[in-house]
Copies of this chain bind each other. A is one copy, B any other.
Amino acid sequence: MLDRLGDRWSVLVVVALGKGAHRFRELQRAVPGISQRMLTVTTRRLVRDGLVRRTVHDTVPPQVEYQLTDLGLGFATMVDGLAAWSREHRPAINEARATFDAADQSPHPAATPTPRT
């Protein structure tokens, strides 16, 4: 499944569905920036992997509902763990990036005695 993680949209859709079942349009609004095409592609992939169940209500205006399966729920839980970790450590990462970027943007200052503090 590490390859499914490599799929940015899949992760976001799973997170969105973790908050409850959604219809197609709802889901699109719940995942800002996703195009109609990618929503279709992503949902199909998730359904195929057994992480999401797709229910079609054959009403007058077509209505399709997407919800996590037990498997998908487990996956969502794992992803939430990752998300929590990333939130917790984002500051540290941002600091590391800032330090790194500052470092190689001053290639040749007369004296750069490792400016610390």
Instruction: Give residues in A with beta carbon < 8 Å to B.
Output: 1-3, 5-8, 11, 47-51, 71, 74-75, 78, 81-83, 85-86, 89-90, 92-93, 95-97, 99-101
Complex Cα distance, B99 from A93, in Å, reads: 42
Contact residue among B1, B86, B96 (Cβ-Cβ distance under 8 Å from A93): B1
Nearest chain B CB to A69's CB is how many angstroms away?
Answer: 8
Complex Cα distance, B7 from A90, in Å, reads: 17
Q: A71-B89, A78-B85, A89-B71 in contact; A47/B3 too (CB < 8 A)?
A: no
Whether the pair A47, B78 counts as a contact (CB closer than 8 A) is: no
**Chain B residue nearest in CB terms to A85:** B78
Whether the pair B3, A85 counts as a contact (CB closer than 8 A) is: no
Neighbouring B residues of A6 by C-beta, 8 Å: 5-8, 11
Q: A81-B78, A82-B82 in contact; A92/B50 too (CB < 8 A)?
A: yes
Contact residue among B8, B74, B90 (Cβ-Cβ distance under 8 Å from A89): B74
